[in-house]
Structure 1
Amino acid sequence: MSDAANMYDAGRIHVIEGLEAIRRRPGMYVGSTSARGLHQMVYEALSPAVHALLTRGAGRVDVTLTADGGVRVADDGPGIPFESAGDAAAPGLEARLTRLYAGWEPGGGRVARLDLRGVGLSAVNALSSRLTAEVRREGAREVQEYARGVALAPPTTAGPAAGSGTTLTFWPDADLFETTECSYDVLAERFRELAFLNRGLRMSLTDERPPGGARTERFEGGVRDFVALPETAAGGPVHPDILDFEVEDPRMAGSVEVALRWCDSGKETVRSFANSRRTDEGGAHVEGFRAGWATALTTYARERRLLAAGDPDLGAERVGEGLAAVVSVKLDQPEFRGATLTLLAGAEVRSCVEEAVRDHVGAWLERHPEQASAVVARVARGAGRD
């Protein structure tokens, strides 16, 4: 190859600006162009509404899968104005839809974040063949239309509005995604998680696509309800009580919420989350949870002479059989290992969660000696089979 062919200069650099970068490499912003990336589009559109609802502590958000293949996300918040009120204000809706990383939102870092790379609504707009934004605010209804991330016209007033809120309706671009057919079941599972992990959050999912008529499901609750789900707590309970608690700890600049119970099953089901994001690989909060539970159980068993002097401790690797639990931390500044954001780091998180679990589980064991003895016996039998 000649030296001329190997030359690299500024003339060979192609600068990709704005939403073009998202359309060129959609997988970098929503994870993939498969169904997984399609569903991430829905979460990106949902994130600002969920954040706003949790910040102010009231309201609801409704998601609809429309008959023509679109997705509508509607909230009853104050309505995001299309234009910013000034340099110190949060970016307006038009900026969020057209500029990368313009999704600044007040309210602290602990509120549920569903976006993957922080580009939020601009990714939804760029990866949609068309998008309609509607704002209901101060008695007026404004609408703006987009096509593949480009505004077709400035926002226009479309008449009076009853109530307030923001509605985004988008149609994922079939030229970019392998499928544009959202799975109702996948979205329903994620929305159920969000409602359980964020007490007070009210959500709904409606599917207008079935030929037999629309179906709707509503979601709200808490972590106790999460553990009570059949798929989380497989088998009948060894003890009927669900132990749940929430602890704020400034040492980790956050809080931990746990719900657990023991079930008549050999399966261990521990679901973990950081700022409402699934941590499928676990991490510091899960390590702390298991260590705290094992310490509490071992201490109780030795004090009540349920273990022989020569028996080993009930280590973290031995106490999981039949355990159904949800471990959720909400942190000001969560740290993750790797780019997938599914493995939580932080020595402080581990030690704080371990302490909280040890104290609360230990107190529960003291209050329920009969159930505690049954759990210890079950764990000891399981260890004996190892």
Structure 2
Amino acid sequence: MPRREAVIEEEHRQSLLVLLAGHIFQLAAYAAALYHLAFTTTTPQPYHTSGLSGQAWVDELRNGHEDRIACELGVRKHIFNILLAELRWLGVEGSRYVSLEEKLGIFLYTCTTALPVRHIGERFQRSNETISHYFREVLDAFTEPDFYNRYVCLPDANAPIPAYILKNPKLYPFFKDAIGTADGTHICCWPSKEERELARDRKGQISHNCLVCCSFDMRVQYAVTGYDGASADATMYAQSRLADLHIPEGKYYIADAGFGTCDNLLVPYRGVRYHLNEWQRGHLRPNNREELFNLRHAQARNIVERIFGVLKAKWGVLIRPVRYSMDIQVKIPLALMAIHNLIMEYDPVESLAAIQDPIEDFYDPAADPEAGGDLAISMIVSEEEIQRSLHRRDEIAQAMWDSYLVELQERENL
């Protein structure tokens, strides 16, 4: 037994020696690293050493080919200059080291590319802190009421019938009181760990939900952002109606069945063919007033889908989130919608392209997971209002159907 104990003690001693040797080796390596830092790098190495500064790059874009600035910053030269003038009017100025032109360039380049802050910093040869600071400064300016409310606003009760409706015999006079279309859209986001589950939508993706009302000429009239990913469109509308969504009396938005029906929304018949592609592929004709109404309703409502398509195609930040706090992320779509409206007003080439862009509609109310919108609507409107809006829809559908039958008869007589 004494011999075995001696063997065990010797093995233990050897293991301690191995551990001690390893520790001594680590200390030696650490000392060597300190020596290297002390005697081989006497001065820190600069990080941003490119010969093309951010200011020089922005100047190149402003003085170069028209398509180049549009590709890199998402706007044409004259729109960039208009945005500069707006920022100056709002009181935003260049700092000692960063001009106003570069500040705007940082904001637009981030929104166009959705690159991380460190990559934006490499492009502009600025620190991460500088990039973040001026991005937030410009974002705050474009979401201030003095700018935002001038470009994003609801029409008044005396607004004329939209030309899109008036010039289309399939829509006029049936939708003469429609002032636009409304829908929700999901914007990808990067929430904190604590906010992550709240941001998970019905498809399991991480996003925040937005309610958007737009005109038939592709301009945003109202928007609210920052709702949980799983929030229903009807819930957003109900809360907005109680807050600041004041639609003129006698007017309404064309919306999908997920919203539920009320005086200010005109929704399609549920369980009735609606899908535009289904009609187009099959060369089908409507068999009754409900199918005809849904077909015409889908054609009119398609405008809001176009706006979503235009915005998300132009601004990468709406589909690839940037790592800012959520209070900053939810303001980004609002700023870009206001800029979109400014572009539509001052850039006829781009506004025409947006209006003519054929973005297809893939909405089907029969398969809509939010088709319980009537519950949210019923909490803020009376049963009398619901029945009144249903009666209005039936009257419009019947008038459409009567006109359609006359048109078919005239075709047969030719």
For the criterion TM > 0.5, the same-fold answer is no
| Higher RCO, 1 vs 2 (CA within 8 Å, ≥6 residues apart) | 2
Structure with more of its chain in helix, by fraction: 2
Give the TM bin, normalised by the shorter chain.
0.3 to 0.5
Highest Rg: 1 or 2?
2
